[in-house]
Amino acid sequence: MRLLNDTLEKIKGPDYSLAQEAQSKLDSLTKPQGSLGRLEEIAKQVVIITGNLRPQLKNKAIFTMAADHGVVAEGVSAYPQEVTPQMVYNFVKGGAAINVVARHVGSRVVVIDMGVGVDLEKHPELTIKKIGYGTKNMAQGPAMTKEEAIASIEAGIEIFEAEYNKGIDIIGIGDMGIGNSTPSAAIASVFTGRPVEDIAGRGTGVDDAGLARKIAVIKKAIQINTPLANDGLDVLSKVGGFEIGGLTGVILAAATRKIPVVIDGFISTAATLIAFTLKSEVKEYMIAAHCSQEKGHGLMLAHMGLRPLLDLDMRLGEGTGAALGMGIIEASIKILTEMATFQSAGVSERNKEQNFKS
């Protein structure tokens, strides 16, 4: 647990000393003040996160983590578990939605096996950090041991550090794991205090009977395991997943390096909730890419005070929403750093006296 504790100790809130200077620069650009709305807010947030008035977001990485879940034995998913390794192979071959969107925004995709239920074939684009062959069935007892929970977070820290050494300016996080919206809903219900019915959605597309079964399973898991809402490790170990733990580690590690973290959908936000509970300062380094179609996602974001950039009715995961968000964030930075000022362009500024008489 030393790596986790050391990482938590290193996380400090960002330095706001450049906030006013960034705002003054935005106000001096050739546009009415505030007319680019959230793009201006995002640009200022990235300046604050990075401590750089002219940040560049050339080196982008999406961390897509995969794992299986024992709770699928309860019939909570519309897809069989063998889809998890099949999709991992699709990722490393470049054929999935995340590969397409990542290519579009110029990001590399880092694919990690955190706990897929089978041994995957070696591939140069695949990192193996397997904590176990899927979690245990959380409806029958804890999903993992506390030691496994710690190991999953520390694996995420190690993965981020390895990629950071290759060059990273901004990251996104994504997931793959059949059944993983079930533990994510359990995590969200525990942390937000909202009823499971307000949180759990259809995931990969379960029907009405499947949704009712899923809600009942989540309630049972919470009742049996009694996860503690003030203890992120306890919640992760009792109702979490190995990929959720890994993403938690990536978030924590990125915060120590002052790297913006773009959050994807429902499962990524479950990891964000755990990271936020372990160290609340990490919130300042997060940008929520979108609000997914999954029922409770908006409640999860609101619990942390995060406002999503997009609402496109997406519910895929993989990091697709995060990749799209990166494009918007990079546009905001280019506005800050490439747009002319009134002075440099020779454009007249707004009249300071508005009380004209006819």
Catalytic residues: 318
Q: CA–CA separation, 278 vs 230, rounded Å?
A: 9
Distance CA 301, CA 55 (A): 26
Cβ count within 10 A of residue 3: 17
d(CA 16, CA 13): 9
Q: With b meaning 16 or more CB within 10 Å and e meaning fewer, what string describes 18-54?
A: beeebbebbebbebeeeebeebbebbbbbbbbbeeee
* Torsion of the alpha carbons at 216, 221, 222 and 223, rounded to the nearest 10: 80
Tell me the CA distances in angstroms from 29 to 21, 22, 341, 351, one per residue in order.
Answer: 13, 11, 4, 15
CA separation for the pair 110, 128 (Å, rounded): 11
- Would you say how long the chain is, in residues? 358
C-alpha 106/C-alpha 60 separation (Å) is 7
Backbone angles phi, psi at 67, to 5 degrees: -165, 160
